[in-house]
């Protein structure tokens, strides 16, 4: 399937302020803000997702990243979402699209998720949440695994690539990290 052209501007070493907040219960580490489709496509392009990949989206919300990974890139994908209603809705959408053989939605806390089968992990979390997640990423991901974060860096890691994407009047940063190249 042809992926539409997206204007990507490569930038490096920009700093983004961290915003430490808590949303809802103690396990909810980010607000539920759906990622615009242009950013979903951009994140997956920057991560160079291919059919052999297993994409994990942590805090998967309505499932749009894992669904796109399967539909446009041919990857297998797992969404992990804390909120039961969002899991149910995303699971229905996966079923309605006939993607059950490629996409799985799991209800749970992504801080306790087994990421060992992931080759790509996508994040749209806060910097403070990324910090809490970092030990799991380091524990489970194999060298060459990719982590792509929308807008918020992972402190202590050096990005392999930083891409700016303009959506209307907003500008977003997409950080790509490759395991084995993060220091």
- Containing structural domain, residue 31: 21-178
Assess if residue 13 is contained within a domain: no
Give the total number of structural domains in the chain: 1
Assess if residue 77 is contained within a domain: yes
Burial of residue 93 (CB within 10 Å: 0-12, 13-18, 19+) is middle
Assess if residue 59 is contained within a domain: yes
Question: How far apart (Å, rounded) are the C-alpha atoms in residues 91 and 70?
Answer: 14
Tell me which DSSP letter residue 33 carries. Answer: -
What confidence tier does 15 reach under pLDDT thresholds 50, 70, 90? very low
Assess if residue 8 is contained within a domain: no
Assess if residue 14 is contained within a domain: no
Please choose, from the candidates 148, 180, 161, the residue with its C-alpha nearest in 3D space to the C-alpha of residue 65: 148
The values of phi and psi at residue 100, to 5°, are -60, -25
pLDDT given for residue 182 in this prediction: 78
| Per-residue pLDDT at 4 exceeds 50 | no
Please choose, from the candidates 162, 168, 176, 165, the residue with its C-alpha nearest in 3D space to the C-alpha of residue 41: 165
Tens of pLDDT, residue by residue over 121-162, are 999 998 999 999 999 999 999 999 999 999 999 999 999 999
Assess if residue 4 is contained within a domain: no
Predicted TM-score (pTM) of this structure: 0.83
Neighbouring-strand partners of residue 55: 77, 120
The values of phi and psi at residue 150, to 5°, are -85, 120
* CATH classification of the domain holding 94: 3.40.50.150
For residues 82 and 28, is the Cβ–Cβ distance under 8 A? yes
What confidence tier does 167 reach under pLDDT thresholds 50, 70, 90? confident
pLDDT given for residue 34 in this prediction: 75
| Per-residue pLDDT at 10 exceeds 60 | no
Residue 145: CB atoms within 10 Å: 22
């Amino acid at each position: 399937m042809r992926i539409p052209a997206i204007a990507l501007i490569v930038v490096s070493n920009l700093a983004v302020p961290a915003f430490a907040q808590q949303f809802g219960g103690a396990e909810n580490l980010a607000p539920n803000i759906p990622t615009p489709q242009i950013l979903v496509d951009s994140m997956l392009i920057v991560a160079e997702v291919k059919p052999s990949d297993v994409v994990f989206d942590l805090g998967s919300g309505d499932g749009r990243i894992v669904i796109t990974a399967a539909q446009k890139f041919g990857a297998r994908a797992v969404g992990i979402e804390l909120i039961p209603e969002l899991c149910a809705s995303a699971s229905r959408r996966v079923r309605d699209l006939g993607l059950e053989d490629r996409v799985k939605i799991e209800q749970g806390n992504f801080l306790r998720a087994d990421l060992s089968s992931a080759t790509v992990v996508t994040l749209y979390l806060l910097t403070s949440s990324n910090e809490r997640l970092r030990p799991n990423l380091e524990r489970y991901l194999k060298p060459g695994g990719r982590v792509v974060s929308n807008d918020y860096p992972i402190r202590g890691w050096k990005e392999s690539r930083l891409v700016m994407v303009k959506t209307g009047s907003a500008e977003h940063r997409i950080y790509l990290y490759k395991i084995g190249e993060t220091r």
